[in-house]
A and B are shown apart, each in its own frame.
Chain A
Amino acid sequence: MSPETAQHFKYASGGSAVGGVLYGTVGAMEMVLWLGGHTFMGLGGDPFTVFSLLLIAAMFLYTPFRADNDGYRAMSFLLSALLTATIIGVMCVLIAAAEIVDAALLGEKYAVSNDLLLPTILSLVVSPLWLFFKNNNHKKKWEEMGEV
């Protein structure tokens, strides 16, 4: 691993660890709430939310374990986790919008579904990171480093 790759790998691992812990903690909390059938401070949970949060957390946390190959493979997990989180976030926002319209149509009072709340918030946090990696110089840098 070249010094430049090693440096980038450190960033990728550090960022991934933070993301993984964040998603993992919330996911585990959701799972407990879901299995226990309780709601706590408005946070419920359903299998979909739990599964998505834990899977994204696993992707983040797996990043450092790819260090033995090269920094590029590690970066793959970070990028995939960011992209997955972004997709889930966008989807949750659209579903929430549809729920608001549906409630208005049926003349009901709308409250954000518990199972949409957390993925939306978390994904709104990480989505800009995906755009950052996708669109700026990082893309070129990683591509150059990935040349074999």
Chain B
Amino acid sequence: MSEKKRHTVALAGNPNVGKTVVFNALTGARQRMGNWPGVTVEKKTGIFRYRDEEFEVVDLPGAYSLSPYSLDEKIARAYIVEEKPEVVVDVVNAASLERNLYLTVQLLETGANVVVALNMMDEAEKKGLKIDVERLSRLLHVPVVPMVATRGEGVEALKEAIYEEMRHHEVHRHMTVGYGDVAEECIVELEKRIEKCPPLRDYNRRWVAIKLMENDTIMVGKAKASGCDSLLKKAEQLRELLKKETGTDPEIFLADKRYEFIDRVMDEVVHGGTEAWTFSDMLDEVFTHKIFGVPVFLLFMWAAFQFTFGVAAPFVDAIDIFFSWLSEIAANSISNPAVSSLVADGIISGVGSVIIFLPNIFLLFFVLSLLEDSGYLARAAFVMDRFMYRIGLQGKSFVPLLFGFGCNVPAIMATRTIEGEKDRIITILITPLMSCSARLPVYILFASAFFIGYEGTVIFSMYIMGILLAVLMALLLRRFVLRGKPAPLIIEMPPYRMPSLKSSVMRMWVNGSLFLKKAGTVIFGGVVIVWFLSTYPGGPGSDIETSYIAVLGKILQPLFAPMGWDWKAVAALMFGFVAKEIVVGAYGAFYGISGAEETNTSLQTALSSSFTPVGAYAYMAFVLTYVPCLPTIAAIRTETNSWKWALFAVAYLLSLAYILALVITFVGNLIFHAGVGVEL
């Protein structure tokens, strides 16, 4: 018996159009989960039978377009143009037809066999919209199936349309968007030359020509890899020509033409509709207002920040008290001094230093969930996009950066909402420059010791310096390391809703426990290593000046001699690698001052003999900028899934800190005519 062929069907569509419901309605329980190759994006496939034929349905990630910007869009596009499924079902929200048709037009341009599933017809009716389905089908040259997938309406008709499309897929369609005379001439010219570039001949020629006109990174990369230099040169000339003729960037010009086409389709197909103002419209009138939008955003972010760190305080203190108690018990109960020190100062303190981050992390994710579920996060990204674009990032980067002022670890984890991979990595790399709350005790200690009467201004200058450095580094990283334009912000504005407490708590738990599992192990290991370095070779209770870390501090000190820092300053920085606030405690240990806190006057007095004001300011700037703390490095490693970026962050921040401290010392000494810091 010959085995029958299984037909492939891809399910594409914008996010939130009921794609999953359509997928479930088609495949029922016959589903399989996996990952798309090379990435952690979930891949869902399912099977259904119709008229004695078997169809495998692949659920593609939700995408607004087929541009090569976000990971989801790349995956969807790659599957459609590389795997060439026999049928592509484009699930469209009938109530937001205009926005959804952009993807439809792009799908048709790839030459795919498209069936439009016009879902949510009930919502369109509620809005009083009358959609001429037949006319839409004639204009797009594709079958259009009206559906209400949640009620199972139209599922059988969709199966029939898929079946028919599969049988007649050899029939080519000719729906094309007209791009105007000049652009069309360019496209035709490129189509001819694509013949001479074998790897590009596998795709629809017109689509490839359009992509080359858009300077599409993936298609240009393929042509480059195949040595099709003359084609690329011609494409560049034609792009310049089109830009000159139209006065617009070709990518934007072609997108505008698609929207013009969609407008014409809408005029002919959609009638009626009473668009009543809703509460969401009313709130957007203010929250996305050109004057009020930014201050409202700042207020909400500030409030979220205050909430996160204000409400976390008792939990942080409770954890601190608990681990101090536990450490004391362990120290008193274990007689062997080495084991006692390892358990009390190494293991328990190590675990404590991980757990103490949890209240802030959990609450930050809780707040982020509330903001996202309420629909406000989409508005926040929209409001900040213009500013962020100027520094080579997109609107969604702002929220994680802002939360970096509290703690860099959850801030780096919060970058998950950013689609463009490069945008996300740049945001992650500049987040450590946001002055987190752990650096504040160091600033207070030094500002109180050296800048009496100007403490507030000096500390504030650290925050401003961090922001300016972050902007500078974003521009440099975009210019030299992660080149390209930031992904254009295409974002759906969901209606405002009352957030669900259950959903927010669930997401808080999932994200928080992920941190505990993944980052926790790295931090724990690091803390034990630092314990060892600061305890041996002398052993527990020995003078810290004889420890490995002190020896290291003395070896490295000459590097910092231009800034006038002594070995204690250098060794304290090494302790700060675990958590920046430990720098203060380390000074306490070096000077033999117990209960070292940033407000400790004897510690301030001891310090004032070791630094000049210029040297102290340079030291504060170094603490602001140098290597991120261990948990932050662990978070960078986890979130980028690469040690490369974690090590890059360490290297570039260390270099930046060194240069910055050197410049401050040099300029400061020039201005104030002071000699270089301490006597060595």
In angstroms, Cα B296 to Cα A144, docked, is 28
The number of chain B residues with a CB under 8 A from chain A is 30
Q: Find out whether the CB atom of B303 lies under 8 angstroms from the CB atom of A76.
A: no
Given contacts A95-B311, A105-B314, contact A51 B299 (CB under 8 A): yes
A128 within 8 A of B: no
Q: Find out whether the CB atom of A102 lies under 8 angstroms from the CB atom of B313.
A: yes
The number of chain A residues with a CB under 8 A from chain B is 36
Task: Spot the interface stretch: A1-9, A26-34, A86-94.
Answer: A86-94
Interface SS of A by simple majority: helix
Complex interface residues of chain A between 4 and 47 (CB less than 8 A to chain B) = none
B366 CB to nearest chain A CB (Å): 11
Chain B interface residues (CB < 8 Å from chain A): 274-279, 281-283, 285-287, 292, 295-296, 298-300, 302-303, 306-307, 310-314, 317-318, 321
Q: Find out whether the CB atom of B277 lies under 8 angstroms from the CB atom of A95.
A: no
Q: Find out whether the CB atom of B275 lies under 8 angstroms from the CB atom of A98.
A: no
The one of B282, B307, B311 that contacts A80, using a Cβ cutoff of 8 Å: B282
The one of B286, B300, B307, B314 that contacts A102, using a Cβ cutoff of 8 Å: B314
Q: Find out whether the CB atom of A147 lies under 8 angstroms from the CB atom of B285.
A: no
The one of A48, A51, A76, A147 that contacts B286, using a Cβ cutoff of 8 Å: A76
Q: Find out whether the CB atom of B318 lies under 8 angstroms from the CB atom of A105.
A: yes
A83 within 8 A of B: yes
B363 CB to nearest chain A CB (Å): 10
The one of A55, A76, A87 that contacts B285, using a Cβ cutoff of 8 Å: A76
Interface SS of B by simple majority: helix
Shortest Cβ distance from A48 into B: residue: B302
A148 partner residues in chain B, CB cutoff 8 A: 274-277
Other A-B pairs, 12, CB within 8 Å; known A52-B299, A95-B306, A102-B314:
A52-B302, A52-B303, A62-B292, A72-B282, A75-B282, A76-B282, A76-B285, A88-B303, A91-B307, A146-B278, A146-B282, A148-B277
A72 CB to nearest chain B CB (Å): 6
The 13 listed contacts between A and B (C-beta, < 8 Å) are A51-B299, A52-B303, A58-B292, A59-B286, A72-B282, A76-B282, A77-B285, A87-B300, A94-B311, A98-B311, A101-B314, A146-B281, A148-B276
In angstroms, Cα B282 to Cα A79, docked, is 8
Shortest Cβ distance from A74 into B: residue: B285
B277 partner residues in chain A, CB cutoff 8 A: 72, 142-143, 146-148
In angstroms, Cα B307 to Cα A1, docked, is 42
A75, A88, A91, A134 interface centre (most CB from chain B within 10 Å) = A91
Chain A interface residues (CB < 8 Å from chain B): 48, 51-52, 55, 58-59, 62, 72-73, 75-77, 79-81, 83-84, 87-88, 91, 94-95, 98-99, 101-102, 105-106, 134, 139, 142-144, 146-148
Q: Find out whether the CB atom of A94 lies under 8 angstroms from the CB atom of B317.
A: no
In angstroms, Cα B286 to Cα A99, docked, is 32
* Closest 10 A/B residue pairs (Cβ): A146-B277, A80-B286, A76-B285, A95-B310, A102-B314, A76-B282, A101-B314, A98-B311, A147-B276, A102-B313
In angstroms, Cα B93 to Cα A131, docked, is 32
Shortest Cβ distance from A73 into B: residue: B285
Q: Find out whether the CB atom of B286 lies under 8 angstroms from the CB atom of A98.
A: no
In angstroms, Cα B153 to Cα A20, docked, is 51
In angstroms, Cα B279 to Cα A146, docked, is 10
Q: Find out whether the CB atom of A55 lies under 8 angstroms from the CB atom of B296.
A: yes
A85 CB to nearest chain B CB (Å): 11
In angstroms, Cα B632 to Cα A29, docked, is 41
Shortest Cβ distance from B276 into A: residue: A147
Shortest Cβ distance from A101 into B: residue: B314
In angstroms, Cα B281 to Cα A80, docked, is 11
B321 partner residues in chain A, CB cutoff 8 A: 105
A83 partner residues in chain B, CB cutoff 8 A: 283
A105 CB to nearest chain B CB (Å): 5
